Copies of this chain bind each other. A is one copy, B any other.
Amino acid sequence: MRGKATATAPANIALVKYWGAHDLSSGIPLNASISMTLSRCVSTCTVEARTGDAAGGAAREESNEVYVVAPGEHWPAPGEGRAQGELRPAPDAFARRVLDHLERLRRWAGADCSFRVATHNSFPSGAGLASSASGFAALTLATVGALGAEVTAEELSILARRSGSGSAARSVLGGYVELPGGPVPDDVYARQLAEPGHWDLRDVIAIVAAEPKAVSSLEGHARAPSSPYFRERLACLADRLTVVREALARRDFDLLGPAVEEEAVDLHLIAMSSSPPIFYWRPGTLEVLEAVRRLRTEGVKAYFTIDAGPNVHVICPPDAEETVASRLGALGSVREIIRDRVGPGPELIEEHLL
């Protein structure tokens, strides 16, 4: 018997970041985080669950197959047509994480099956654009669909989180989303703070380096407590979370922006003062930051944030997007601009990759 499902799930950009874990392997953060779910940075994942053709255990694992749709191909937005591209075996490290998560979901569902999986990102992977968030959210939703299971959004968020990607737990909802910190695992699922229609914010993403970063987010989380400043960061976060929640509720951009920039700098201060230090910023990162500050002196409303990578997300209202995108696109170190915006979250679709 076969079940097959395809899900799309968006990346999200954290306005208050998850950095440092109670339990890294099951994505239980030390602190609450708040994000904006995106629209165009999307992972698509098809999962086919095959029962009856495997003897369980090692034999079952051996018959699992994980593919990626070759990067560089365009994946159109849902409804705009099919993704084009060649299926290739996934790189080992990525395939390992996917297989671990599939095994987790199989046990959760009590199913006896093997899987064929294909995934595709509409944006560069591993460069601090939350590809693990969208990827594991899509994988989780598609697997649940292929297994014919029914889940609430809360359960889906917890299942996605257990992949080890805490931010995947946020990508199961659209709009503005909060994920509480631990330590209680059953509490750590995403809550929607506001629907996407509540506030139309844009995210102009300046790509200054598209290759995967040298130090993974997982490694960054693990090193965070070695920074002498980490405890103080956690202490400051309660106030910052309050400010960001309030700014979102009131649609107050002047309140939101500075808090978001401070938070982004803070994450990187912790990384740079961890032991050994982690430098995610590249020269181009600072070129973009300088340009954003210059834009503000000219009256353009725009504030930056940076996940664990070198690329810069510039949050702005719709009327600033064009100016921000064209100014940043003209910088020498910016390779590509992705214009994204708040979006509605994941969905099951009929256009399978397998």
Contact = CB atoms under 8 A, between A and B. Distances in A.
A168 to B, nearest CB: 29
Interface in A226-274: 228-229, 231-233, 235-236, 261-262, 265-266, 269, 272-273
B262 A273 contact: yes
Nearest to A270: B269
Interface in A81-132: none
Interface of A: 228-229, 231-233, 235-236, 261-262, 265-266, 269, 272-273, 277, 279, 281-287, 289-290, 293, 333
A273 B283 contact: no
Given A265-B273, A266-B273, A269-B229, A286 B289 contact: no
A281 B286 contact: yes
A283 B228 contact: no
A162 B23 CA distance: 53
A335 B235 CA distance: 42
Contact of A269 (B231, B269, B281, B333): B269
A287 B283 contact: yes
A273 B269 contact: yes
A224 to B, nearest CB: 14
Nearest to A282: B286
A68 B228 CA distance: 44
A346 to B, nearest CB: 35
A284 B332 CA distance: 13
A92 to B, nearest CB: 24
Contacts of A281: 286
Contacts of A284: 283
Nearest to A275: B262
A265 B277 contact: yes
B289 A277 contact: no
A271 to B, nearest CB: 10
